[in-house]
Amino acid sequence: MSTLGTRRQVLAASLASGHVAMAMFEDTEGRRDPSIRYFTGHPGDALLFIAADGRSLLVPWDVNMATVMADIEDKVAYTDFKRSPFAAMTGALERLGIEAGSVIDLPSVTPYPMYVDYVEACPDYDFRCTEDGSTKFASSMRAVKDADELAVYRVVSAITDKAMDEIEAGLRSGRLATETDVALFIERFLREHGCEAAGFDTLAAGPSRSFGIHAFPACTAAAFATDGMSILDFGLSYKGYTSDVTMTFVRGPVAGKRAEMIGLVRQAHREAIAACRPGARSRDVAAIADAIFAAKGYTMPHALGHGVGLEAHEAPAVRNREDNDWVLAPGHVITIEPGLYDPLAGGVRLEDDVLITESGAEVLTHARIVELD
């Protein structure tokens, strides 16, 4: 059986053990879920039904695309269901032979009104929509990267490191001078190196805009890496998996508040990574950075990090919040990205991707805070 088929069997087994007859996954505009790519290879716009007996059905918007990309036995075009998710649900229940009265698991992000419509369309079934259903199970599967996925991460990390080296050289030489220069360099570089896209909108914020956590717009024609602090946050997507790194470029004297912020961010980055190992609670790792900042009167306005994979933000969570009960495990790939922001001094953030190993952690990427001049 293919790797993807095996993944579907693992999900099916979880259904059987939970007395759920069928799970639905949905990947559509407004409700993206790369779990369908994870389970089938189909890259987007589809419904996927997996039954507890291991059979499954893909309902793609684009059946030509599915013929090329999807590794799954049974496919029916969404147009055959008149592009209605409720008609597709009805059809899947019949095609997969799901008995009346069975429990059907819906994606946890199913809007409340759609939940009501599924129940009305298929009144003989018992629909469940919870935070603890198949969406979460698939997310937990995806959080632990297997050998194939780790091989992809070695490649994309190396390409990302090379991009960072070339960007630093381009900024030092003056060949790259604006936010747009840097962002477009990345767009061309990634395709020349076999990546499929940026993992998310490249954020290139020059000194006048770096105080924003996520500057808006993501990049402009303005100067980059001129006097002050400039933030570059980008990721490259290779075979669907994205890297996620942030460099800060500082030009001019590093003193006063700016020096303090840079020092604290470097310290938080170093000490948080040192605490990454199997069995550590990711909340405790995040608390290390918060404590370093709090001791000097600073607050970080975002989480310390997050898992990366087919999504730029996925499990496990890496934040210091009561509802975060994730324990780091081998195969997790997370970002560590402490940052501080000040309307006058500007912003500084340093972000790398970290793989949790059997014995500790391996830093996959090599971002840095670069002092120019």
Give contact residues for a second copy (rule: CB under 8 A).
29-32, 43-45, 61-65, 67, 69, 77, 79, 82-84, 106, 108-113, 115, 129-131, 180, 183-184, 187-188, 191-192, 196-197, 201, 211-214, 216-221, 299, 301-302, 313, 321, 323, 341, 343
Q: Which residue number, 44 or 331, has a Cβ lying nearer to a second copy?
A: 44
Region of residue 158 (phi > 0: left; psi between -120 and 50: alpha; otherwise: beta) = alpha
The first and second tokens of residue 365, run together, are: 């990427």
Q: Measured from the CB of residue 75, what is the shortest distance to a second copy in angstroms? A: 14
What does the buried/exposed string (b/e) look like for 238-277 if buried means 16 or more CB atoms within 10 Å of the residue's CB? bebbbbbbbbbbbbeeeeeebebbbebbbbbbebbbebbb
Q: Measured from the CB of residue 62, what is the shortest distance to a second copy in angstroms? A: 5
Closest of 3, 59, 11, 1 to residue 239, by C-alpha: 3
Rounded to whole angstroms, the Cα distance separating 351 from 336 reads 5
Rounded to whole angstroms, the Cα distance separating 289 from 132 reads 29
Q: Measured from the CB of residue 204, what is the shortest distance to a second copy in angstroms? A: 11
Q: Which residue number, 110 or 160, has a Cβ lying nearer to a second copy?
A: 110
Q: Which residue number, 60 or 145, has a Cβ lying nearer to a second copy?
A: 60
Q: Measured from the CB of residue 107, what is the shortest distance to a second copy in angstroms? A: 8
End-to-end CA distance of the chain: 57
Rounded to whole angstroms, the Cα distance separating 80 from 59 reads 9
Q: Measured from the CB of residue 193, what is the shortest distance to a second copy in angstroms? A: 9
Q: Which residue number, 97 or 111, has a Cβ lying nearer to a second copy?
A: 111
Q: Measured from the CB of residue 208, what is the shortest distance to a second copy in angstroms? A: 11
Rounded to whole angstroms, the Cα distance separating 348 from 211 reads 8
- Let me know if 189 is exposed, middle or buried by CB neighbors in 10 A (0-12, 13-18, 19+): middle
Q: Which residue number, 81 or 153, has a Cβ lying nearer to a second copy?
A: 81
Q: Which residue number, 312 or 370, has a Cβ lying nearer to a second copy?
A: 312
Give me the amino acid identity at 336.
I
Q: Measured from the CB of residue 215, what is the shortest distance to a second copy in angstroms? A: 8
Rounded to whole angstroms, the Cα distance separating 194 from 208 reads 34
Q: Which residue number, 262 or 345, has a Cβ lying nearer to a second copy?
A: 345
The first and second tokens of residue 172, run together, are: 């030092």
Q: Which residue number, 197 or 280, has a Cβ lying nearer to a second copy?
A: 197
- Let me know if 118 is exposed, middle or buried by CB neighbors in 10 A (0-12, 13-18, 19+): buried
Q: Measured from the CB of residue 81, what is the shortest distance to a second copy in angstroms? A: 11
Q: Which residue number, 45 or 352, has a Cβ lying nearer to a second copy?
A: 45
Closest of 148, 128, 127, 126 to residue 136, by C-alpha: 128
Rounded to whole angstroms, the Cα distance separating 256 from 328 reads 37
Give residue for tokens 């990366």.
Answer: 308
Q: Measured from the CB of residue 84, what is the shortest distance to a second copy in angstroms? A: 8
